[in-house]
Amino acid sequence: MRKHSKLELVFSGGEGRLLTTGVTESALARAFYQEQGLDMNRVQLETGSRNTRENAQRVSKLLGSRCKEPWLLVTSARHMPRAVAEF
């Protein structure tokens, strides 16, 4: 993101656990991105999703018509087939 000043990052992740801990994946991501010195004006955090389907639905709502623009999906190899199916 430092080399590409127009890129924006959207992180999707609420609390996907059966028993809540009060800490969301997005809160952890925010702390990490801030520690890395990212411009938080270019970072959007979706905090309410509990699973992959909700990740996709909430990101779509968050981005609106910009969802139709090219973007890059980043996740683990194990999770990629499910994420691609939902996004």
Contact 48, 26 (CB under 8 A): no
The chain-wide mean pLDDT, for the chain, equals 91
Both tokens assigned to 22:
């009060």
pLDDT for 2 beyond 70: yes
In percent, the amount of the chain with pLDDT more than 90 equals 70
Q: Supply the pLDDT for residue 57.
A: 96
pTM, whole model, 2 decimals?
0.81
Side chain identity at 58, as an amino acid letter?
Answer: R
Please list, residue by residue across 43-53, b when 16 or more beta carbons sit within 10 angstroms of its beta carbon and e when fewer do: bebbbebbebe
- If pLDDT is split at 50, 70 and 90, which confidence band does 36 have? very high
Q: Supply the pLDDT for residue 5.
A: 84
Measured CA to CA in angstroms, residue 75 lies from 19, 72, 82 at distances of 23, 10, 10
Residue 28 phi/psi, 5-degree rounding, is: -65, -40
pLDDT in tens, 49-85: 999 999 999 999 999 999 888 899 999 999 999 999 9
Q: Supply the pLDDT for residue 1.
A: 79
